[in-house]
Amino acid sequence: MKSFLIDFIFLFCRLIPISLHHLRVEGAFLVSAVRENGYTKFIEVKSLAGEPCILQTDFEGEVKVLGVDKGKMGQKVSRITLRLRKGETAILYVGEKPTDFNIKELTSSKESWNAWGEGK
């Protein structure tokens, strides 16, 4: 089986709030995540095909997992390996368990939009 790497350091390199909901990534995974105050609050991974998944995260310390047995997760510093069966979902976080795992719509003003990278 092939493993698929999802690099959250690339996605979350800026200190802006980010919410992803069911981002479909290579290897047949749906990924949701929330980043607030410069830190990733949680990452949720749902396997659609049962392939192994490797996540490069910005997590520091022991990563905790919900939804599947801890034995399905491996950790080497900030690199997390998940062995999920088709249809299984794992939620990853560090520190205290978040009070909720809701993905909330972020608001922005039209003046801050720069859809195609065009300078003004």
Per-residue pLDDT tens over the stretch 27-83: 899 999 988 887 889 999 999 999 999 998 888 999 999 999 999 999 999 899 999
| pLDDT score at 13 | 54
Find, among 97, 100, 86, 108, the residue nearest to 32 by Cα: 100
Domains and their CATH numbers in the chain: 4-96 (2.60.40.1180)
Query: Which comes out higher in pLDDT, residue 11 or 80?
Result: 80
Query: Which comes out higher in pLDDT, residue 2 or 82?
Result: 82
Query: What is the value of pTM for the model shown?
Result: 0.82
Find, among 72, 7, 89, the residue nearest to 40 by Cα: 7
Residue 1 in this model has a pLDDT that exceeds 60: no
User: CA–CA separation, 60 vs 103, rounded Å?
Assistant: 22
Find, among 43, 63, 53, 56, the residue nearest to 86 by Cα: 53
Task: At 78, list the tokens.
Answer: 């900030």
Is 72 strand, coil or helix? Answer: helix
Residue 12 in this model has a pLDDT that exceeds 60: no
